[in-house]
Amino acid sequence: MGCAGVVFPAIFQFILKLVRGEGVAELQIRQEVAKLKQQLQSISMVDQFATYARLQRKINTLNQQYRDKVSERSVRAQRARLVVDGLIRAVVGMLSMWLIWEHRSDPVLSLPAGLVWPLGHLLSFPSCQLGQMSMIVWLSIVRAVCGRTSGYFTFANPKPPPRPPSPVFTQTRSPVSIPLD
């Protein structure tokens, strides 16, 4: 349960990226724009200005329609992502609470008390004996480890590498003006 809140959203992002594609209407608009651009290249702007301008306006309106459809698709995908992510987190949260409630006094791990000496009471919180690890602590540790390592194995867009800092003082060449005395 600890990793599910990290792993499931990443898997869903990957599946959504595979499923989400260009629609039929968007493809038709792109093809029509390509045809119109070919026609535009065959027309002389100087000789047939009215036809050229009309085709250019038509290309501009089709490009705007294409941008609108792409933005609608991205809004729908964002809504679906938010809803599914919220549902996954709610289900994982409820399952974690149920798991903690059912196994509140069962140890997940038993170690000799001397081995966990400085953290023994913290690991056994709330109802295990010294040297035992409770379900709450176990799920917290697993969640923290999964959260830290998920950045290395994510299906989402990778973060760009950090840019080197720009120098504060850049030396530029400036022409030296000769005094006109």
Residues 6+ apart with CB under 8 A from 5: 88, 89, 92, 93, 143, 146
Provide the CB-side half-sphere exposure for 124 (13 A, CA). Answer: 16
- C-alpha span between 92 and 95 (Å, rounded): 5
Mind listing the pLDDT tens digit for each residue in 2-59?
A: 566 567 767 777 777 766 667 788 889 989 999 999 988 888 888 888 888 999 999 9
The verdict on residue 91 lying in a domain is: yes
Provide the CB-side half-sphere exposure for 165 (13 A, CA). Answer: 3
Tokens for 34, please give them.
């390509």
Considering the domain architecture, whether residues 26 and 90 belong to the same structural domain is answered as yes
Considering the domain architecture, whether residues 42 and 126 belong to the same structural domain is answered as no
The verdict on residue 181 lying in a domain is: no
Considering the domain architecture, whether residues 123 and 84 belong to the same structural domain is answered as no
Considering the domain architecture, whether residues 48 and 113 belong to the same structural domain is answered as no
- C-alpha span between 13 and 157 (Å, rounded): 10
Considering the domain architecture, whether residues 61 and 136 belong to the same structural domain is answered as no
Considering the domain architecture, whether residues 71 and 114 belong to the same structural domain is answered as no
Name the band, by pLDDT with cuts 50, 70 and 90, for residue 162: low
* Whether 85 contacts 7, CB under 8 Å: no
Considering the domain architecture, whether residues 92 and 145 belong to the same structural domain is answered as no
- Show the DSSP H helices in 43-178 as ranges: 49-102, 120-123, 135-149
Considering the domain architecture, whether residues 64 and 111 belong to the same structural domain is answered as no
Sign of CA dihedral 58, 60, 64, 69: positive
Mind listing the pLDDT tens digit for each residue in 79-127?
A: 888 888 888 888 888 988 888 888 877 887 787 877 777 877 777 777 7
Q: To the nearest whole number, what is the mean pLDDT of the chain? A: 77
pTM to 2 decimal places: 0.54
Considering the domain architecture, whether residues 130 and 83 belong to the same structural domain is answered as no
Considering the domain architecture, whether residues 48 and 36 belong to the same structural domain is answered as yes
The verdict on residue 79 lying in a domain is: yes
Considering the domain architecture, whether residues 1 and 52 belong to the same structural domain is answered as yes
Give the pLDDT score at 32: 93
Name the band, by pLDDT with cuts 50, 70 and 90, for residue 177: low
Q: Percentage of the chain with pLDDT > 70?
A: 76
Considering the domain architecture, whether residues 64 and 10 belong to the same structural domain is answered as yes
Q: Which of 60, 52, 55, 57 is nearest to 36 (CA)?
A: 55
Radius of gyration of the chain (CA): 31
Q: Which DSSP letter does residue 110 get?
A: E
Domain ranges, residue 147: 104-152
Please determine, for residue 155, whether its predicted confidence score (pLDDT) is greater than 60.
no
Cα–Cα distance list, 60 to 51, 66, 103 (Å): 14, 10, 64
